[in-house]
Amino acid sequence: MTTMTTMTSTAPLPTAATRAWTPVCPLDRLEPDRGVAALVDGVQVALFRTAGELFALDNLDPVGGAYVLSRGIVGSRGGVPTVASPLHKQAYDLRTGACLDLPGVSVARHDVRCRAGVVEVRLRQEG
């Protein structure tokens, strides 16, 4: 007879506030108005530096299904900083991840900061 024991943890799930910051690269490695891809805790992240601001989104284009947003065209629409997918050209708000062309479509946004000249990312996962 086999006995199966189920282990449950009472530890709370990590929240955005408790997830760790991951160092990615020196700030000077990010060219203004260009994207770069980075692997953060197994997640492909697209990093962008525009006019002194840093943004981090998932690199997966939700419409095209490929990891290409870091190669998109950085710009703005009505004062909103954007990246346009290199596949089908949908524009995504770099601040929120919302698609400006297709209501209800979005890409995950992550926390990003520069600390002591190093860009750090903290993943934000739903749930």
pLDDT at position 51 is 86
How much is the average pLDDT of 45-50?
97
CA 62/CA 54 separation, integer angstroms: 21
Q: How far apart are CA 123 and CA 75, in angstroms?
A: 24
Question: Has residue 81 been placed in a domain?
Answer: yes
Tell me whether residue 82 is in a domain. yes
Using the predicted structure, report yes or no on whether residue 2 has a pLDDT greater than 70: no
pLDDT reading at 11 higher than 80: no
Q: What is the CATH number of the domain that holds 41?
A: 2.102.10.10
Examine residue 2 and state whether it is found in any structural domain, yes or no. Answer: no
> Is 87 part of a structural domain of the chain?
yes
Q: Is residue 17 part of a domain?
A: no
> Would residue 3 count as lying in a domain?
no
Domain count of the fold of the chain: 1
Domain boundaries, position 91: 22-122
**Is-contact 35 119, C-beta < 8 A?**
no
Compute the average pLDDT of residues 87-114: 97
Token output for 104? 């209800």
13 falls within a domain: no
* Confidence (pLDDT) at 74: 97
Beta bridge partners of 83: 74, 92
